[in-house]
Amino acid sequence: MPYTKETILPFIERQQQLYEDSGQSGLLQDGVAFLTGQTILPPVCTDATVAREMGIFVQLLKLPDQWDDNDRLVLQLLADPLVWQHCRERFLQHVVPMLDTPGSASAIVLRFSYFTNYLQQRGCTTEDIGSILIVYSGDGNNFDLTPLKFTPLRKFLQDLIKSAEWPTVDAYLRTWKDHGWNSLFFRLLSKGHPDREMEYLEHILLQPGKGFVNVELSRVLLHLNPDKYRPLIEKSVSHLSSLPDYTAQLCGYYLLAHYQSEHYEPLLLKAAYAYLQEQNSGLTSQAFRQQQAAMGGTTQLPAPDVIAVIQLLRQDRQQALPYLDTYVEERKYLHPEVFQVMQQELGNQSVPLLLKAIDNDYEAKHIFPLLTQLDAPLYAERLWDFTLHKLKSVRTLVAVILADHPQALERAGELLQHKKAEQRLTAVQILCRLNTPEAKQLLQQALQQEINDDARDLMLETLGQTLAEEDDITTAQQLVAFAKKRFKLSRPLEKWLDDSALPPAYLVNGAALNLDMTRFLLYRMSRVDEFRPDIEARPLLRLIDRSRSGEFAMHLFHLYLSRNGDAKTKYLLALAGLTGDDALAATLEQAVMQWISEKRLRMAEHGIGALALHGSKQALQTVEYLSRKYRVRKSNIGAAALAGMQYAAAELGITIHELGDRIVPDYGFKGMFLPFEVKGDIYQLYIDQQFKPAVINNRQRKLKSIPVATPAHTKEAIKQLGKAIAETVKLQTARLEHFLVVQRKWEPAQWQQCFLHHPIMFVYATRLLWALYDAQDQLITGFQCRDADHLTDLQGQPVTIPAGASIRVLHPLYLSSEALSQWKQRFAEDGIEAVFPQLDRPVAAIPPQQADTTLVHDFEDIALESTLLNKHMEQKGWKLSEGSDGKYVYAYHKTDDENQLEVIVEMSSIYKEEGFRYKLGTLYFVDKTKVRQRWSRNPDKETDDCLLPLGHVPPVFYSEAITDIAVSREKVEVA
């Protein structure tokens, strides 16, 4: 029977969301009408655009052995000639990978029968079908010649090709000679028709212009069976030499020389000169790399240029040196690794060649490090010439080396007086790297005369200050005067920016900023890439009266909007945040939320940075909220908010967690209470154990509700207060649970200030179980807080906090089963409800016998519907990332930033009747200080030094990671 509207509607809605911006969502309707039985015959397409759009219905198809009436309707829709023409690729990309899904023998037979029958109906021959399966399997774009490990698809292909008659094999060979090299086809051909493999190999190896394929295939064949394949490879090298194909000739003789050096080395030397003499060696090397990238692999052979130069230096050094000197002088292409070969083979004798290479614009970043490994007197003096080099990259690199020169201070001081800004910048780089008192003195003397802003900014970064005046007003006046003298304030910063029309900003002394001061702030803030106050702008910014400068800041905000959030104008938003009042902060908060909803994420990041610069309690509350809300999804937003919190904390000289404690809103409470008046009587609001506003009268009696006579506006205010408190509690609950996971420490005074003197946090103090640790990080006892003056242990005895102690949220992993049971009973007797799972939290200890292992295989039986698993893992703070080594491979990862750790669980997609599911795989922990990329899938993980033995993983992080996934077994379906 056809699809019902209910079953197909979610799919259609998703597609319409994808196409709503293109205005093409209406093209789906004819297909929907047919699939839902509204029309009997499939639509006939006459328009290529409509035909192409029909391809979205391919996603509805299941495995061929599970095709039912609904699938056959989709197949009918695709059978229209024009639709098939435009959707064939999409169909094959969707269906072919599914064919490898494990199944029973009868299901696999049925699967390929249905699939091949459908392709035959579309006019495909047996050879067409076999080649299609090879292409869309994606398994042949390499040089893997190991015996085939069978999967359903490979087994079907082997049987198909092995049973093929001679004319069909001819057709296969014609196809794959045109397609080029494919390792899967070659292995299938070798197994099914071994007498034809040489025909295929000879055609591939004799093709000109296929340097990487020829080289890698020759290498693999010679390694596999040198006696069998050497005559063929020698024939191909001779043939390609006659064309001439210099890359194939050089690499071919290089490979053959490993097996008969005395015969092939003279030919190899001749080929090396021929390759280097070729005028287009740069282009051939580039083509070689492009072919390598297209094959998705690396080669074990050196680059052709490297092979050539090695042979010249080893076999013909006397002639090679003048030849290479001329070669470098003529600026012919050389692979960067060639210079390493020169240095290794020639030692100090390579210095003139290396210096000449830099002179002739070869990549200095590869050559300078090689020079520094040689005797310094041979090149040190010559390096000063490169401070005049036309390329900034060369000047920057040489500055690093020259900082170690014995006369670096004097020579850099002379260079600091050069008439050209580029050379002065190089002098500054040398002096900054020296970072001695004498170097800093030279920089300080030059600072206010230097007109090159790059040089000045580098000086400022090193000096850490500008002027050492006692007061900000004097410092600011001098900095503005110096900037004016350097002609930085003579005109508006931007042509479109009429700074004379800006509303005035005011100083704390009541004076308005003059035009020079305004231009100075704009000029200096435009020099900062990140959302930070510029070092020279700080003195003047400290003098701004924010309460009176709101219009100025708001105008900057609207200027930023008028430029459509151009990243080049983000300094306007930063300056607005640094000078604005509370109204500006509220406007920024509203704008950030709108930009996030409109997916203008870069603007949202800018807005978050401006909120952090504003630094008010309300602004930072918003930033902290965003850092948690977008920790997993829209993680760039979360990262920007986290960076903002880190900046604000650094400005205050505290940790980010301490900042989070400080900005928890108290909503105007005085201590634990908020008074309000009703007909002359004073009542007090407080927050009860359920985090709801409650009332006591002047006799300290708790009332069941707000007094009836309470004014309407006060009732409404209390109602809104309740909503605001609920939002804060939601945020703080997640925050404290995170602190349980990372085992954050509070100093006792910090803990008391945060929890015992705050109306909301005090409720948490009484509803959580706390841990007291000594100065050596050993657990002393667990305790609960009954009131601000009573901290008691499991026996009800008062807890004394010793010097050097710290307090944490107690993780049940550290409790014995007996103590855990007793604490649960105590909390039950006291009627204390958990704010988040603590005492009932599942735990997992590291098995002693696995302490030295790095891989956990306990979850490889878990397979869940993708949406369900995604939701579960996101709730636990895991992020999903695509894998790097093939289709349908992913991983979940979760970080512990405090300890620089990451846990990764691999995962792959499988197809079952109900749709795609995620199947979990190996789990392991990574030391983020050692990891070379964000995460990797490596079959030899046991040898990866960034993996942590389980015994080295913090016990709580291990427990949380393991139990996060173990809990998913409640919803599991075994694959």
Label each residue of 604-628 as H, E or C.
HHHHHHHHHHHCCHHHHHHHHHHHH
Question: Are the C-beta atoms of residues 718 and 780 closer than 8 Å to each other?
Answer: no
CA 32 to chain centre: 39
* Residue found by looking up tokens 């829709």 in the block: 77
Asked whether the beta carbons of 775 and 803 are under 8 A apart, the reply is yes
3-class SS of residue 440: helix
Q: 685-713: per-residue pLDDT in tens?
A: 999 999 999 999 888 888 888 888 889 99
Identify which of 806, 770, 766 has the alpha carbon closest to the alpha carbon of residue 788: 766
Q: Which of 382, 370, 376, 378 is CA-nearest to residue 345?
A: 370
pTM of the model: 0.65
The kind and range of the H/E element at 806 are strand 806-809
Taking only Cα atoms into account, the Rg of the chain, rounded to an integer number of angstroms, comes to 36
How far, rounded to the nearest angstrom, does the alpha carbon of residue 341 sit from its chain's CA centroid? 35
Residue type for 165, please? E
* CA 202 and chain centroid, separation: 45
List the CATH code of the domain at 380-464: 1.25.10
SS3 of residue 232 by DSSP = helix
- Within the chain, what is the greatest distance between any pair of CA atoms? 112
**Cis upstream peptide for 244 (omega within 30°):** yes
Task: Please list, in sequence order, all residues whose beta carbon lies within 8 angstroms of the beta carbon of residue 141, skipping any fewer than 6 positions away.
Answer: 182, 183, 295, 296
CA distance 608 to 622: 9
- Treating both helix axes as pointing N-terminal to C-terminal, what angle do 955-966 and 712-742 enclose, rounded to 10 degrees? 110
Cβ atoms of residues 88 and 104 within 8 Å: no
**The predicted structure's pLDDT at residue 283:** 59
How far apart (Å, rounded) are the C-alpha atoms in residues 27 and 9? 15
Of 856, 926, 916, give the one whose Cα is nearest residue 890.
Answer: 916
Q: What is the pLDDT of residues 293-343, one digit of tens each?
A: 666 556 678 888 899 999 999 999 999 999 999 999 998 888 899 999 999
In the DSSP assignment, the letter for residue 43 is: P
β-pair type (855-856, 915-927): antiparallel
Secondary structure of 524-592 as H, E, C letters: HHCCCCCCCCCCCCHHHHHCECHHHCHHHHHHHHHHHHHCCCCHHHHHHHHHHHHHCCHHHHHHHHHHH
**What CA–CA distance (Å, rounded) separates 326 from 974?**
69
Give the whole-angstrom CA distance, residue 896 versus residue 900: 6
In terms of Cα–Cα distance, which of 882, 895, 870 is closest to 971? 870
Element spanning 846, H or E: none
User: What does the pLDDT read at residue 458?
Assistant: 81
pLDDT of 25:
45
Residue 268: burial class (beta carbons within 10 Å; 0-12, 13-18, 19+): buried
What's the CA gap between 656 and 738, in Å, rounded?
A: 14
3-state secondary structure of 903: strand
Cβ distance 783 to 755 under 8 Å? no
Measured torsion, CA atoms of residues 90, 94, 99, 100, in degrees rounded to the nearest 10: 120
Calculated CA dihedral for residues 588, 593, 599, 605, nearest 10 degrees: 50
Tokens of 806: 């710290």
Query: CB neighbours (10 Å) of residue 967?
Result: 12
| DSSP per-residue string spanning 312-375 | HHHH-HHHHHHHHHHHHHTT----THHHHHHHHHHGGGGHHHHHHHHHTT--HHHHHHHHTTS-
Q: In the 3-class helix/strand/coil scheme, how is 689-758 assigned residue by residue? A: CCCCEEEECCCCCEECCCCCCCCHHHHHHHHHHHHHHHHHHHHHHHHHHHHHHHCCCECHHHHHHHHCCC
Locate the domains of the chain by residue range.
1-124, 136-205, 211-335, 380-464, 465-662, 689-702+717-829, 848-974
What is the spatial distance between Cα 450 and Cα 386, in angstroms, rounded to a whole number?
22
| Helix, strand, coil percent values for the chain (each to nearest 5) | 60, 10, 30
| Distances in whole angstroms, Cα of residue 398 to Cα of each of 461, 504, 935 | 20, 47, 34
CB distance 973 to 863 below 8 Å: yes
Give yes or no for a contact between 758 and 687, defined as CB atoms under 8 angstroms apart.
no
Which two structure tokens, joined as six digits, stand for 527?
């020099």
Single-letter amino acid code for the residue at 860:
E
Strand, coil or helix: 49: helix
Instruction: Give the contacts of 712 (CB within 8 A, at least 6 positions apart).
Output: none
What pLDDT is recorded for position 970?
61
Residue 394 and residue 910: Cα distance in Å, rounded?
Answer: 52
pLDDT at 877: 81
For the stretch 97-122, pLDDT in tens is 889 888 888 999 999 999 999 999 99
194-211: buried (b, 16+ CB within 10 Å) or exposed (e) per residue? eebeeebbebbbbbeebb
880 contacts 872 by C-beta, under 8 angstroms:
no
d(CA 525, CA 541): 11
Per-residue confidence (pLDDT) for residue 883, from 0 to 100? 44
Nearest-angstrom CA–CA distance, 147 and 789: 75
Element (H, E) at 973: strand 973-974
**Around Cβ 192, how many Cβ atoms within 10 Å?**
19
| Token duo for residue 223 | 């390694």
Q: Which residues of 389-411 are buried (b: 16+ CB within 10 A; e: fewer)?
A: beeeebbebbbebbbebeebbeb
Q: How far apart are CA 500 and CA 308, in angstroms?
A: 66
Distances (CA, A) of 459 to 3, 438, 532, 535: 71, 13, 17, 11
The CATH classification number of 848-974 equals 3.30.310
Query: C-alpha 725: how far from its chain's center?
Result: 35
Q: Residue 700 — left, alpha, or beta (φ > 0 → left; ψ -120 to 50 → alpha)?
A: left
| Main-chain phi, psi angles of 488, to 5 degrees | -90, -10
Sequence letter at residue 423: Q
Give the C-alpha separation, 966 to 256, whole Å: 56
Low-confidence ranges of the chain (pLDDT < 70): 1-28, 279-299, 465-469, 882-890, 909-917, 931-944, 968-975
